[in-house]
Amino acid sequence: MSGMKRVLVYGGRGALGRSCVAYFKEQNWWAVSLDLVANEDANANVLVVADADWAEQERSVLSQVEEVLEGSKLDAIVCVAGGWAGGNSASDDFIKNSDMMIKQSVWSSVIASRIAAKHLGSGGLLALTGAKAALEGTPGMIGYGMAKAAVHHLTQSLAAPKSGLPADALVAAILPVTLDTPMNRKWMPKADTGSWTPLDFVAQLFYKWAEGSDRPKSGSLVQLVTTGGVTELIAG
């Protein structure tokens, strides 16, 4: 890894995470995957213990990250962990699903911020994953919207002075509508996939930002709006 640029992909075994690990490696970056299960394509793996509490997850993750980095700094941290669950306030699963959404989106994004505070180099990238839908109320998926709104707020806090991130770091969140993943194709077989954002597009976008190209302002919530297979970026 000496001489190579280094990226950590949080959620590196998911569909988008695997695309990111693969794409950065093709560009000759060293890539570490952080997930519940190892990504064998990554140069190194950090594993999260699923049933540990938030603070225990942090302790275990930070100690493994320190070990694999061997004193080096990261040039980019990309957090694409997350999930989806619906439900309004009348649903018996409202709290179970809200809890899951907070764990999947907020816990991961906050631990990614801790990794950034400790190991991101000056001028590095921290990219988080929000959701375009959460820019407004989401009555049919309240827990999901709350968790993503928290991630949006985290992005804005981290971009402000004295947030604890290193000097000149770029923090930004992508706000997708629907990503073109195998799971989404399986569960929504009749959908118009021309409005779904290809995973390669997202991996390339992170890579450009990581290399310092076309960077949005730090704190940006960047909507990914895909029409007819073409994705437009709208930075809020």
Closest CA to 113 of 183, 38, 165, 169: 165
Site string for a second copy, 17-56 (x = CB under 8 A): ------------------------------------xxx-
Q: Tell me the number of residues near a second copy by CB under 8 A.
A: 49
In the bound complex, what is the minimum distance in angstroms from residue 100's beta carbon to a second copy? 10
The tokens for 19 are 């695309």
- β-pairing, 230-235 with 221-227? antiparallel
Strands (E), 118-181: 120-129, 170-176
> Under rule CB under 8 A, which residues in 144-173 are in contact with a second copy?
145-147, 149-150, 152-154, 156-165
Q: Which residues are CB-contacts of 232 (< 8 A; sequence separation ≥ 6)?
A: 224, 225, 226
CA distances from 178 to 50, 130, 131 (A): 26, 12, 9
Q: Which residues are catalytic?
A: 144
In the bound complex, what is the minimum distance in angstroms from residue 77's beta carbon to a second copy? 12
Nearer of residues 26 and 56 to a second copy, judged by Cβ: 56
In the bound complex, what is the minimum distance in angstroms from residue 22's beta carbon to a second copy? 29
Query: Among the candidate windows 27-35, 64-72, 93-101, 191-199, which touches a second copy by CB under 8 A?
Result: 93-101
* Residue 128 engages a second copy in binding (rule: CB under 8 A): no
The tokens for 154 are 């985290």
Query: Among the candidate windows 12-20, 44-52, 107-115, 201-209, which touches a second copy by CB under 8 A?
Result: 107-115
Query: What are the backbone dihedrals phi and psi of residue 145, each rounded to the nearest 5 degrees, phi first?
Result: -65, -45
Query: What are the backbone dihedrals phi and psi of residue 182, each rounded to the nearest 5 degrees, phi first?
Result: -55, -40
Query: Which of helix, strand or coil describes residue 119?
Result: helix
Nearer of residues 38 and 102 to a second copy, judged by Cβ: 102
Strands (E), 51-204: 74-79, 120-129, 170-176
Contact 42, 31 (CB under 8 A): yes
Query: Among the candidate windows 10-18, 70-78, 106-114, 184-192, which touches a second copy by CB under 8 A?
Result: 106-114
Nearer of residues 45 and 138 to a second copy, judged by Cβ: 138
Contacts to a second copy by CB under 8 A: 53-55, 58, 88-91, 94-96, 98-99, 102, 106, 110-111, 113-114, 116-118, 134, 136-140, 142-143, 145-147, 149-150, 152-154, 156-165, 219
